[in-house]
Amino acid sequence: MKVPFKPGTLIYPLPAVLVSCGDKPENYNILTIAWTGTVCTDPPMCYVSIRPERYSHALISGTGEFVINLTTAALARQTDWCGVRSGRDYNKFREMHLTPEPAQLVKAPLIKESPLNIECRVCEVKHLGTHDMFLANVVAVNADDALIDKSTGQFQLNHAGPLAYSHGKYYALGEKLGGFGFSVKKKK
């Protein structure tokens, strides 16, 4: 039996990502985000939604750039900490022993410990209520060489233990259940 439930954003689980921003080492910051996702594949576009009062909101608004850094079970503590502490009060790279690295095309730093870094340039900001959505073009991607299958060239995030967020909790993704199209694939 289904029961009525209050309207809300109950689409879970979501990726828990670390968004890095800033344009010089003195203002580099990291923000934990679960409100992120793919918008389009051609051209490649994604988004992050951020509350205007967050420190990173002003940084991204000012530069028009950010990096989405995918997280793993090994980065769970850093991911949580960067979401509950403000960059106004802490240097999150230093506090969490994370390494800023130069990006290919944007001034915001990559996080070295992340298995995949997605460099983004904002093309539109939508004011939605509690959050502003930064719609962005993906301008470069940086992948950990150890996670690229040498025979297929595919990036294998599943080997890094990707982190997901669901209803205020973090989970490591686990068992593979199938691949795209497995339900209609003919048996050999």
Chunked into runs of 10 residues, the chain (188 residues) has average pLDDT values of 87 94 97 96 98 97 98 96 96 98 98 98 97 98 94 90 92 85 83
Residue 5 contacts by C-beta under 8 Å, 6 or more apart in sequence? none
Closest alpha carbon to 114 in 85, 79, 140, 148: 79
Rounded CA-CA distance 69/113 in Å is 9
Domain range for 54 is 15-172
Q: Does residue 186 belong to any structural domain of this protein?
A: no
Q: Does residue 155 belong to any structural domain of this protein?
A: yes
Q: How many domains does the chain have?
A: 1
Rounded CA-CA distance 174/91 in Å is 32
Q: Does residue 10 belong to any structural domain of this protein?
A: no
Q: Does residue 43 belong to any structural domain of this protein?
A: yes
Q: Does residue 57 belong to any structural domain of this protein?
A: yes
Q: Does residue 70 belong to any structural domain of this protein?
A: yes
Instruction: Specify the residue for token string 């921003």.
Output: 21
Q: Does residue 95 belong to any structural domain of this protein?
A: yes
- Report the CATH number at residue 140: 2.30.110.10
* Model pTM score: 0.94
Instruction: Please give the angle made by the CA atoms of 174, 145 and 164, to the nearest 5 degrees.
Output: 30
